[in-house]
Amino acid sequence: MIPHQATAPAAAAPSAAAAPVAPPAPQQAPPAPAVAAAPPSAPAPQAPIAPPITSRPVATVGQPASREERLAAVLDGLIQGDPDIQAAALVSLDGFTMAAALPAGMQSDRVGAMSAAILGLGERAAAELGRGHLSQVFIEGEDGYVLLVAAGSRAVLTVMASAQAKLGLVLYDMKTAAAQVAEILG
C-alpha cells in the first residue's frame, strides 16, 4: 500500500477581471553614468599604518603612570633621542633589572648582574686609588661602548652605544636620564 501524501489543492488562477490593479510604479531616475575603473597597474590607495602595539601598559588621561611605566619611558626617550644609543638598562645596585630596552637575544638579567659588578668595582677602584667619588664607567670595545652612570643612590644606568657615538652627547643624555630616574625612585 502506498502511503497517502497530502497535497495542497492547486490554486485557481485569478481571472483578469477579479485581479486588483496595482498603482503605477514611481519613475526611477536614470542610472548614473558608469565611472571608469582605475587601470589595473595603478596601486590602490592604502590606509595609514597604525603604530605597533606595545606590551607596556599605558596610562590614560587623569590616571598616573606607574613607576615601571615612567622608568620605561625614560629609557625609551633616551634611545629615541640619540641614534647612537643602541640599548639601555636601569639596574638596582644589587643587579636586578628595573627597566630595559635591549635588542633581541640580550638577556636583561645578565646585563643587570654585569652592570652592578662593574659599577661596584669602579667605585672601589676610584675610592682606593684616591680618585674620589665615581662619576662614570667607560668601556670601549671594537664594536662600540658600554657606559655606566649612577642613577641616584639606588640604581645604575647602563647604555650600549655605537663605535661612532659622540660620547659627550651620549653622556649628557645619560646624566639627564639618570636625574629623571633618581626623581622617580625618590
C-alpha cell at 159: 647604555
72 pLDDT exceeds 50?
yes
- pLDDT at residue 51 in the model: 39
Three-state DSSP class for residue 38? coil
Least confident of 8-17, 49-58, 80-89: 49-58
What's this model's pTM, rounded to 2 decimal places? Answer: 0.65
What pLDDT sits at residue 65? 84
What percent of the chain has a predicted confidence (pLDDT) above 90? 61
Q: What is the pLDDT of residue 81?
A: 94
Write the pLDDT tens digit of every residue in 129-179.
999 999 899 999 999 999 999 999 889 999 999 999 999 999 999 999 999
> What does the pLDDT read at residue 111?
96
pLDDT for position 100: 96
Of 100, 163, 77, 91, which is closest to residue 120 (Cα–Cα)? 91
Q: How many residues does the chain have?
A: 186
Joined together, the cell numbers standing for residue 181 give: 630616574
Please name the CATH architecture into which domain 67-185 falls: 2-Layer Sandwich (3.30)
Render pLDDT for 4-50 as a digit per residue (tens, 0 to 9): 444 444 444 444 455 555 555 556 555 555 555 555 555 444 444 43
Residue ranges in 63-152 assigned as alpha helix (H): 67-81, 108-128
Q: How far apart are CA 67 and CA 76, in angstroms?
A: 14
Q: What is the average pLDDT across 77-86? A: 95
Q: How far is CA 83 from CA 4, 10, 77, in A?
A: 88, 85, 11
